[in-house]
Chain A
Amino acid sequence: MARPLSFVRRALEAMARGPFMTAVAVGTIFVATLVTGLFAAVLTGGERLLAAWAGDVQISVYLKPGADLGAAARAAEALAGGRVVDAVTPAEALRRLRASLGPEAPVLEGVGPEVLPASVEVRAPGASLAEARALAGRLGTIPGAQEVDFGNAWLERVESLLRRLRWAGLALFGVLSLGTAVLVSNTLRLGVFARRDEIEIMKLVGATDAYVEIPFLIEGVLQGICGAGLAVLALLAAHALLVPRLAAAAGVVAPLGRAEVLPGNLVLALLGGGAALGLAASALAVGRFLRKA
């Protein structure tokens, strides 16, 4: 068996001899990894944002007129499992409303506290959406409860959207991987075909299929790592360019640091995926050629 380093040397020599083929293969893997990585980064970032926003959950239980606020607050405390519970009288609710209106507060001139219902507020920092939803359901049963306002309900729609996107992402990744494997395999087949004379001579002098195949496989892995590495760099550059601008424009992306959008395990998965893609494509290409040879 030849020395492992000689296989690497032969793979590097072959890449240097066919720079166009190498560039096409690297480019194909780059595009596939970039699209997949972009999708994964948007999903990961979306989930992080959702978690950050959902972490500030507050549930308000509005009471029927004449309901016993103290009894309702005690019932809420029993159901809330140690969370902060505020009993909000109509007078306090009016005061908060005035404060929130600021200079527009005079519009409430002549409005008495009796127009606002008493309520019980439960703060649940760090609760997931599912936990908040369950707690809101339980709080609807306290004595005198008329309506439960789950203030972050809109997040449910975002969560549902992300859930669907996650499935779409998986499907996209599958289709992309398959498509790219076929595309890269065809590109590499051209490379294998261009070197058919070399392969013929190798076999002529007694090279085993493994001896012929291994440098091609190494080449595929190296091209995969290069393509995926470039895609990761492009994603990092896109993050560095886009997130500060989005933050300035919308003020909502502050939690989206590099580690939130492109965590280390995602970067490793992209690099590993690119390498696996290159390996699979080259195995497919050279295998098909050798079977015919």
Chain B
Amino acid sequence: MAGEALVQLFHVYKQYQGEAPALADVTIEVGRGEFVFLTGPSGAGKSTLLKLVFCAEPATGGQLLVFGRNVAKIPPSQVPYLRRAIGVVFQDFKLLPYRTVYENVAFPLEVRGLGPRDVGRKVNAMLRSVGLELKAGKFPLSLSGGEQQRVAVARALVGDPALLLADEPTGNLDPERTLEVMELIQAASARGTTVVVATHDRSLLERYKRRVIALEAGRVISDGDAFRRAVEA
């Protein structure tokens, strides 16, 4: 554990009506500055867990604390402000197709009410850091999958979030583009951002020797590097 806990789940349950529990009795902590892989087969509960952390859905049982705040007690009007401290990256990028690369990356800053000068400074710096400064005026659909995901990572990081959640960020990418995107996420971690990456790509677990939380049928079956060692063996 690396310092104070940024995300804490205590016996968390999540069940959708008429279905088996998506998460059952999950108790984990993610410390500030940690880089954690969340792994498991499809349907294991990885995405659900991330959704609970960025308050897209409520837990049906247990307690979930993000930045020390019990999310069940955060009024809906305050949720957007919590989300501004969390960057999220999805497998399907979730970019706005009619906005340019620049505008997509600027979006979180506009939402916060930053002036055009501050937005320009931060967005240009971020585009440089992800190697897309020459594509600023392009539209997402004219970019490759890897480039689109780099835009998505840039959008997630441009607001300097304390926590980065990535849900299968390399799921749609070939191995070379996968490494590019993972390097960006690694770099964010190196700058102190807490990172949680949900993936079922075992090669990532082998390559990046990080803490691995393994889920199966909504339960934590392993936490630490035991799972990674098992994969490597």
Residues of A within 8 A of B (CB): 1-3, 6, 17, 197-198, 200-209, 211
Residues of B within 8 A of A208 (CB): 77, 80
Residues of B within 8 A of A205 (CB): 83-84, 107-108, 111, 155, 159
* B94→A200 contact, CB < 8 A: yes
- Contact for B96 among A201, A203, A209, CB less than 8 A: A201
Residues of B within 8 A of A209 (CB): 77, 80
* A204→B88 contact, CB < 8 A: yes
* A201→B94 contact, CB < 8 A: yes
- Contact for A206 among B81, B94, B95, B98, CB less than 8 A: B81
Residues of A within 8 A of B111 (CB): 2, 202, 205-207, 211
> Which one of A17, A202, A204 has the greatest number of beta carbons of chain B within 10 Å?
A204
6 A-B pairs with the lowest CB-CB distances in the bound complex, closest first:
A206-B84, A205-B108, A206-B83, A207-B111, A208-B80, A206-B80
Residues of A within 8 A of B112 (CB): 206
User: How many inter-chain contacts with C-beta < 8 Å in the A-B complex?
Assistant: 46
B18 within 8 A of A: no
* B80→A201 contact, CB < 8 A: no
* B110→A204 contact, CB < 8 A: no
* A207→B113 contact, CB < 8 A: no
Residues of B within 8 A of A211 (CB): 80, 111
Q: List 19 A-B contacts (CB under 8 A).
A: A2-B110, A2-B113, A3-B113, A17-B98, A198-B96, A200-B94, A201-B96, A202-B111, A203-B80, A203-B83, A204-B54, A204-B88, A205-B84, A205-B107, A205-B111, A206-B111, A206-B159, A207-B80, A209-B77
Give the CA-CA distance A198 to B54 in the complex, in Å: 18
Residues of B within 8 A of A3 (CB): 113
Secondary structure call for the A interface: helix
When A17-B98, A206-B83, A206-B84 are in contact, do A201 and B110 touch as well, CB less than 8 Å? Answer: no
Residues of A within 8 A of B77 (CB): 208-209
> Which one of B81, B94, B98, B111 has the greatest number of beta carbons of chain A within 10 Å?
B111
Residues of B within 8 A of A206 (CB): 80-81, 83-84, 108, 111-112, 159
* B107→A201 contact, CB < 8 A: yes
Give the CA-CA distance A201 to B108 in the complex, in Å: 9
CB contacts under 8 Å to A, within B66-85, are: 77, 80-81, 83-84
- Contact for A204 among B81, B83, B113, CB less than 8 A: B83
* Chain B minimum-CB-distance residue to A290: B76
Give the CA-CA distance A1 to B112 in the complex, in Å: 6
| Shortest Cβ distance from residue A65 to the other chain B in the assembled complex, whole angstroms | 89
* Chain A minimum-CB-distance residue to B108: A205
| Shortest Cβ distance from residue A186 to the other chain B in the assembled complex, whole angstroms | 24
Give the CA-CA distance A4 to B108 in the complex, in Å: 17
| Shortest Cβ distance from residue B126 to the other chain A in the assembled complex, whole angstroms | 14
* Chain B minimum-CB-distance residue to A293: B56
Residues of A within 8 A of B83 (CB): 203-206
* Chain A minimum-CB-distance residue to B115: A3
| Shortest Cβ distance from residue A214 to the other chain B in the assembled complex, whole angstroms | 12
Give the CA-CA distance A211 to B83 in the complex, in Å: 14
* Chain B minimum-CB-distance residue to A291: B76
Give the CA-CA distance A99 to B113 in the complex, in Å: 85
When A6-B110, A211-B111 are in contact, do A204 and B84 touch as well, CB less than 8 Å? Answer: no
Residues of A within 8 A of B155 (CB): 205
* A1→B80 contact, CB < 8 A: no
Residues of A within 8 A of B159 (CB): 205-206
| Shortest Cβ distance from residue B13 to the other chain A in the assembled complex, whole angstroms | 23
Besides the contacts A201-B96, A202-B107, what 14 more A-B pairs have beta carbons closer than 8 Å? A1-B113, A2-B110, A2-B113, A3-B113, A201-B94, A204-B54, A205-B83, A205-B107, A205-B155, A205-B159, A206-B80, A206-B84, A206-B111, A209-B77
